[in-house]
């Protein structure tokens, strides 16, 4: 089995992965807001987040993630398509989005387009 490994320390915030994702899933269209991977600029870091499962309700736990002497809101790291965030949902129609590894066999375009190796496709 393989998975997409994220090394946020290598991400420079070019958003090319979002373009690659939307071109793969919507024919001839570039739209980062409909991408199943989003790069969030959080404090000093660029954080790629890949869309995971859909959840109906807002979660009740609020976590903190410490990185290099700074504390980050865990909500930003969450992969869920959820009611409190517009990411990983289709604008206008609100349908949840989830990463599908670009089909079968998996061939994630975001990894292909990433030039800094922040994203890699690895065996688990």
Partner 1 sequence: MDGWVGRILRVDLTQGDYSVEDLDPDLAKDFIGGRGLASKLLFDEIDPRIEPLSPENKLIFASGPLTGTGAVSGGRVTTVTKSPLTGTIACSNMGGYFGPEIKFAGYDLIIVEGKSPEPVYLLVMDDDVEIKPALNLWGKTTFEAEDIIREEIGDEWKARETQIAGIGPAGENLVKFAAIVHDKHTVAGRCGPGAVMGSKNLKAIAVRGTKAISVADGEGFRQTVLDTLNKWKADEGLSYFGHTGSAAAIGSNNRRGCLPVSNYQRGTFEGVEGLSWKAQKTYLVSRRSCFGCPCHCRPEYKFSDDKFGERHVGMEYETLALLGSNCGVDDLAAVIKANDICNDLGMDTMSAGGTIGCAMELFERGYLPEADIGFKLNFGNGEAMLELLRQTGLRTGFGDIMAEGAYELAKRYGHPELFVGVKKLEMPAYDPRRLQGMGLNLATANRGGCHNRAYTPAYEAFAPPERLMEPSATEGKAALVKKLQDLVTVLDSAGICLFPYAAMDPPFQEEEVLSQLEAATGAGYTHDDMLLAGERIWNLERMFNLKAGFTKEDDTLPHRMLEEPLPDGPGQGQVCRLDEMLSEYYQLRGWDENGVPTSEKLSELGLEDEL
Nearest residue (CB) to partner 1, 3 versus 8:
8
Please tell me the total number of residues recorded for the chain in this structure: 124
The reply on whether position 89 binds partner 1 by CB under 8 A is no
Diameter over CA atoms, the chain: 43
- Contacts with partner 1 in 29-48 (CB under 8 A)? 29-34, 40-41, 44, 46
Q: Which of 4, 6, 22, 102 binds partner 1 (CB under 8 A)?
A: 22
The reply on whether position 23 binds partner 1 by CB under 8 A is yes
How many angstroms from the chain centroid is the CA of residue 57?
20
What backbone phi and psi angles, to 5 degrees, belong to 61?
A: -90, 140
| Distance separating alpha carbons of residues 61 and 80, to the nearest angstrom | 14
**In this structure, are residues 100 and 4 in contact, taking their beta carbons and an 8 Å threshold?**
no
What backbone phi and psi angles, to 5 degrees, belong to 29?
A: -120, 135
CB of 106 to partner 1, least distance (A): 17
The reply on whether position 70 binds partner 1 by CB under 8 A is no
Instruction: Summarize as ranges the residues that interact with partner 1 (CB under 8 A).
Output: 12-16, 19-20, 22-23, 26-34, 40-41, 44, 46, 85-87, 91-92, 109, 112-113, 115-116
């Amino acid at each position: 089995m393989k998975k997409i490994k994220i090394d946020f320390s290598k991400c420079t915030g070019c958003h090319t992965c979002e373009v690659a994702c939307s071109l793969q899933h919507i024919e001839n269209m570039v739209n980062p807001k409909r991408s199943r991977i989003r790069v969030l600029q959080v404090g000093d870091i660029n954080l790629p987040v890949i869309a995971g499962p859909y959840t109906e309700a807002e979660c009740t736990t609020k976590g903190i993630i410490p990185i290099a002497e700074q504390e980050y809101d865990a909500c930003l790291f969450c992969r869920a398509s959820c009611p409190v965030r517009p990411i990983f949902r289709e604008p206008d129609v609100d349908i949840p989005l989830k990463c599908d590894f670009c089909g079968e066999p998996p061939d994630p375009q975001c990894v292909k387009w990433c030039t800094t190796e922040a994203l890699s496709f690895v065996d688990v």
